[in-house]
A and B are shown apart, each in its own frame.
Chain A
Amino acid sequence: MKIAVCIKRTPDSESRFKVVAGGSGIDEAGLKFDMDDFASYAVEAALQINEKQGPGETIVFAVGPDAIQETLRKAMSMGADRAVHLKADGALFDGLSVATALAAELKGGGYDLILFGKHAFDSSAGVVGTATGELLGLPCVTAVSQLDVGGGKGSARREIEGAGEIVEFPLPAVVTIDEGVARPRYPSLKGIMAAKKKPLETKPAQLGAARVVVKAMELPADRPPGRIIGQGAAAVPELVRLLQEEAKVL
């Protein structure tokens, strides 16, 4: 299958974040960046489909500054065949604007399947995949935890509150990937060497107008420091008292 996967570069989720003076954004000094988690599940899902189903092509796309090429190389070191970098600078908090650039690039590309992460760690928005699907006029299924494709159609499971939804859809389609589909592989040394020679094309991103822009960022109020109230079952009466009298949740 010809599969497109759109990936993003985000700060490592284990980082301790600081906001720059003036609050215009996070302080990137010292932060590690990597492929966003759900997008890495999407890359893995695409690779597994093509490995299982025989001759296919996995192409990765990213909108962002030059540094994002490192992320595209990583996807190629996992096994993607080639990459397209849509160059754009600045903060990309308007998901519809990013989707506009991706849809312009993907349109008419003959992809059987276009994959995204369910949401990115930094924006935590869950917009880009679904909006791209809508702009392309393709069937779109979001946040899938199980995915089967073949014979021109797909089936998937989505987790909705307190239930699972089982859907079927025709290909080509856009799918956004949740946990459960595939855990990403680590690139092998051989993969890393091979990725250096794989094609990476760069062109300007045709972003839509950014109408959602960052005004300020701040860190959430810290929780009060934790407190250990006792040891073992003997501490249970005190816990119950605190839940009733202090926290008033019992």
Chain B
Amino acid sequence: MPNVLVFAETRGADLRKVALEATTAARAFVDANGGGEVHALLAGPSGVAAKAESLGKHGADVVLVCEHASFARYAREAIAATLAARAKSGYRVVFIPFSSNGRDLAPRVAAKLDAPLASDVTSVSMSGDAITVKHPGYANKVIVELTVTGSPAIISLRPSAFTPAEKPHAGKTEAIQPAADPGAERVVVKDVTEGAKGKLDLGEAPVIISGGRGLKAAENFKLVEDLASAFGNAAVGATRAVTDDGWRPHSDQIGQTGRQVSPQLYVAVGISGAIQHLAGMRTARTIVAINKDPEAPIFKVADYGIVGDVLEVLPALTAAVREAKKG
């Protein structure tokens, strides 16, 4: 009967999707191993308690609500102290999303507790007292299966590897206090420069339209953005060639040294398909490639390839997608 503690990540007073993924994963893990309780730690600014209901719906028995004005931003030291303090009370496993902030948090908690940590995990199982996880290592080229000994096992979960599913439990709230003063952080967040409002994050978008040097000029990225907006649920990505040239911000880069994504649909336009780029997107469910060179390596992984000039094909595709969306 393992009990699991989940870090329910927030941004401001909003719950992030990875929080529901981790809660769903925790519920499934507990139910597969003879039952037990799922507790979710929800830290945020005042008002965040309203999000407890959604965690209950996804399987949390108890939601530990920790409200503090300084939790409007990521107060890494106080969050780590609070999660570590709570993790001591008899949990077998702690699930943390392997998001930007979750991957910052998990090693802090593990080091504080001297507890074993497995990162970026796509599946977790338990047999007897042994926990086994799978983790795509070597930039997704090798699946590494790891045995994790010791309690609590800190496990960070790859975003999108688990799909949020409703499985209502009590979601009883319990207010807790921060274990360290969130106003006394040594690392002080001065600013958070939000991207354009309503812009989908690459890690969360079901569709990604990604452009490479084949677009020829920064202004031609307009064609990529047009296709993304025709889909409506799409984010825009880029290759390193393009971010190096400053056509797109570094944060848009997909690949081994950029973001690693697994959308339902990945459209690669004017991208050669270098191995370092493939490392970031080869787990997409469906891949489309548009490239004028039929020998480009991207065609080896593309479910659907079109050989042609992006400047000609993109506008036609955008119009056709708009038409299809109209229904």
A binds B: yes
Residue numbers of A with Cβ under 8 A of B are 11, 13-14, 17, 19, 26, 37-38, 93-96, 99, 121-131, 133-135, 139-143, 145, 155, 158-170, 179-180, 208, 211-220, 223-233, 235-237, 239-240, 242-244, 247, 249-250
B303 and A227: CB pair below 8 A? yes
A233 and B312: CB pair below 8 A? yes
A247 and B186: CB pair below 8 A? no
B101 and A212: CB pair below 8 A? no
Cβ–Cβ < 8 Å partners of A230 in chain B: 306-307
B279 at the interface (CB under 8 A from A): yes
Q: Which of B183-200 contact A (CB under 8 A)?
A: 186-195, 199-200
B188 and A158: CB pair below 8 A? no
Q: What's the least CB distance linking A214 to chain B, in Å?
A: 6
Q: Mark B96-113, 1 if CB is under 8 A from A, else 0.
A: 000111011011101110
B223 at the interface (CB under 8 A from A): no
Q: How far is the CA of A203 from the CA of B325 in the complex (A)?
A: 65
Q: How far is the CA of A127 from the CA of B300 in the complex (A)?
A: 34
Q: How far is the CA of A205 from the CA of B179 in the complex (A)?
A: 33
Q: What's the least CB distance linking B67 to chain A, in Å?
A: 21
B33 at the interface (CB under 8 A from A): no
B186 and A26: CB pair below 8 A? no
Cβ–Cβ < 8 Å partners of A134 in chain B: 80, 107-108, 111-112
Residue of A nearest to B240 (CB): A179
Binding stretch for chain A, among B22-30, B42-50, B56-64, B252-260: B252-260
A229 and B306: CB pair below 8 A? yes
B308 and A235: CB pair below 8 A? yes
A140 and B187: CB pair below 8 A? yes
- Known A139-B187, A211-B148, A243-B286; contact A95-B142, beta-carbon cutoff 8 A: no
A124 and B139: CB pair below 8 A? yes
Q: How far is the CA of A19 from the CA of B145 in the complex (A)?
A: 13
Partner of B192, one of A166, A208, A212, A224: A166
A124 and B286: CB pair below 8 A? no
B145 and A218: CB pair below 8 A? yes
Binding stretch for chain A, among B117-125, B163-171, B211-219: B117-125
A160 and B101: CB pair below 8 A? yes
B132 at the interface (CB under 8 A from A): yes
A131 and B107: CB pair below 8 A? yes
Q: How far is the CA of A114 from the CA of B92 in the complex (A)?
A: 33
B265 and A96: CB pair below 8 A? no
A124 and B135: CB pair below 8 A? yes
A212 and B148: CB pair below 8 A? yes
**New A-B contacts (20) at CB < 8 Å, excluding given A126-B103, A139-B187:** A11-B138, A95-B107, A125-B120, A127-B107, A130-B107, A134-B111, A159-B100, A211-B116, A212-B118, A214-B145, A218-B143, A219-B143, A220-B141, A225-B300, A226-B299, A228-B299, A231-B307, A235-B308, A239-B320, A249-B264
B294 at the interface (CB under 8 A from A): yes
Partner of B145, one of A124, A158, A217: A217
Residue of B nearest to A10 (CB): B138
A162 and B201: CB pair below 8 A? yes
Q: Which of B128-158 contact A (CB under 8 A)?
A: 132, 135-150
B316 at the interface (CB under 8 A from A): yes
Give the interface centre of B143, B144, B146 by most chain A CB atoms within 10 Å: B144
B145 and A232: CB pair below 8 A? no
Q: How far is the CA of A160 from the CA of B286 in the complex (A)?
A: 26
Cβ–Cβ < 8 Å partners of B206 in chain A: 249
Cβ–Cβ < 8 Å partners of A214 in chain B: 144-147
Cβ–Cβ < 8 Å partners of A124 in chain B: 119-120, 135-140
- Known A143-B104, A232-B308, A250-B321; contact A224-B141, beta-carbon cutoff 8 A: no
Partner of B275, one of A11, A14, A223: A14
B188 and A167: CB pair below 8 A? yes
A96 and B111: CB pair below 8 A? yes
Partner of A244, one of B140, B305, B324: B324
Partner of B186, one of A11, A125, A161, A169: A169
- Known A130-B104, A232-B313, A237-B320; contact A13-B275, beta-carbon cutoff 8 A: yes
Q: How far is the CA of A13 from the CA of B240 in the complex (A)?
A: 15
Cβ–Cβ < 8 Å partners of A228 in chain B: 294, 299, 302, 305-307
A-B contact pairs, 8 of them (CB 8 A): A13-B276, A122-B137, A123-B119, A143-B100, A163-B192, A214-B144, A219-B142, A247-B285
Cβ–Cβ < 8 Å partners of A225 in chain B: 300
Residue of A nearest to B264 (CB): A249
- Known A145-B250, A159-B100, A250-B321; contact A93-B305, beta-carbon cutoff 8 A: no
B190 and A233: CB pair below 8 A? no
Residue of B nearest to A225 (CB): B300
Cβ–Cβ < 8 Å partners of B283 in chain A: 220
Residue of A nearest to B299 (CB): A226
Residue of B nearest to A11 (CB): B138
Cβ–Cβ < 8 Å partners of B317 in chain A: 233, 236, 239-240
B117 and A127: CB pair below 8 A? yes
- Known A38-B257, A127-B119, A163-B192; contact A236-B303, beta-carbon cutoff 8 A: no
